[in-house]
Amino acid sequence: MLKVEGLNQSYGESHILRDVRLEARRGACACLMGRNGVGKTTLLQCIMGILPILSGRILLNGADISRLPPEKRAKAGLGYVPQGRQIFPLLTVEENMRLALLSSRSGNRKIPSCIYSFFPVLEEMLQRRGGDLSGGQQQQLAIARALVLEPDLLILDEPTEGIQPNIVQEIAAAIRRLMKEMSMTVLLVEQKVPFARSIADSYAIMERGHIAAAGPMTGLDAATVKALLSV
Ligand SMILES: Nc1ncnc2c1ncn2[C@@H]1O[C@H](COP(=O)(O)OP(=O)(O)OP(=O)(O)O)[C@@H](O)[C@H]1O
Ligand SMILES: [Mg+2]
């Protein structure tokens, strides 16, 4: 469904992403892993069109989207949950979701009720300000905000960062249900190996802006984890 080929990117003089290739297969969860600062978020921002690329291609269902502006990529079916959640703290839960709906590709202006089946706590807290929610609830809101646009591919950047363990389990369960019940394809950036193993079908590990190892998740062995992920 999503394919990245030979992608290069730089921030001014500093060349960060080098010949990156990555694939997310339809209906599966692909996990991009790697230590802090290797370029994971930079790659997601290139995929979303937030950052320009130097060379390479980003293909969505075979079509090259690498020159499209971010809003066209969202309309093409990419949903993005940024690192650090980035919800609007002064707006209510409902307002956060309604704001996202303004760019709905189907013209739908109603919050789909299935959102509350995935994240019941959001329905209870509709009138609460985003900034008053716990970290885990804010993450659920950030995912819900991407989901109201009914994406085909959900891209999540470290959704479990700084979140308490029981909520991490809830988020894992919600992602699994999204894949099963909504046929969602997922591209996940994650550093926690057990969490990644519990939901992903394949992995790619980045080191200094390059994919150093990749394959089916079942083939991710302890030696690779130690060499490329342990801190
Ligand atoms: N706006 C920027 N300008 C210049 N350099 C940047 C910018 N944003 C990130 N970088 C650099 O690019 C590299 C990759 O950063 P990036 O945020 O993509 O890493 P990451 O793998 O997502 O890290 P983390 O796991 O900490 O989120 C880092 O060396 C970082 O310092
Ligand atoms: Mg990052």
Ligand 1: residue whose CA is nearest its atom 10: 11
**pLDDT of res. 206:** 98
Q: What's the pLDDT band for 104 if we cut at 50, 70, 90?
A: confident
Q: Over 80: is that where the pLDDT of 209 sits?
A: yes
Distance 108 CA to ligand 2 centre (A): 31
Which sequence spans correspond to the domains of the chain?
2-228
Distance 230 CA to ligand 1 centre (A): 19
Choosing from 38, 85, 229 the residue with most ligand 1 atoms within 8 A of its CB, the one to mutate for a pocket test is 38
**pLDDT of res. 129:** 97
Buried b (16+ CB within 10 A) or exposed e, 24-55: beeebbbbbbbeeebbbbbbbbbbbbebebee
Choosing from 8, 9, 11 the residue with most ligand 1 atoms within 8 A of its CB, the one to mutate for a pocket test is 11
**pLDDT of res. 166:** 86
SS3 sequence, the chain? CEEEEEEEEEECCEEEEEEEEEEECCCCEEEEECCCCCCHHHHHHHHHCCCCCCEEEEEECCEECCCCCHHHHHHCCEEEECCCCCCCCCCEHHHHHHHHHCCCCCCCCCCCCHHHHHCHHHHHCCCCEHHHCCHHHHHHHHHHHHHCCCCCEEEEECCCCCCCHHHHHHHHHHHHHHHHHHCCEEEEECCCHHHHHHHCCEEEEEECCEEEEEEEHHHCCHHHHHHHCCC
**Nearest ligand 1 atom to alpha carbon 35:** 25
Share of the chain above pLDDT 90, in %: 89
pLDDT digits (tens, 9 = 90+) for 59-90: 999 999 999 999 999 999 999 999 999 999 99
Ion ligand 2, residue ranges at CB < 5 A: 40-41, 83
Q: What's the pLDDT band for 108 if we cut at 50, 70, 90?
A: confident
Q: 2-228 has which CATH code?
A: 3.40.50.300
Distance 222 CA to ligand 2 centre (A): 23
Q: What's the pLDDT band for 21 if we cut at 50, 70, 90?
A: very high
pLDDT digits (tens, 9 = 90+) for 118-130: 999 999 999 999 9
Query: What would the mean pLDDT of 150-161 be, rounded to a whole number?
Result: 96
pTM, to two decimals: 0.95
Mean pLDDT of the chain: 94
Query: What would the mean pLDDT of 84-105 be, rounded to a whole number?
Result: 92
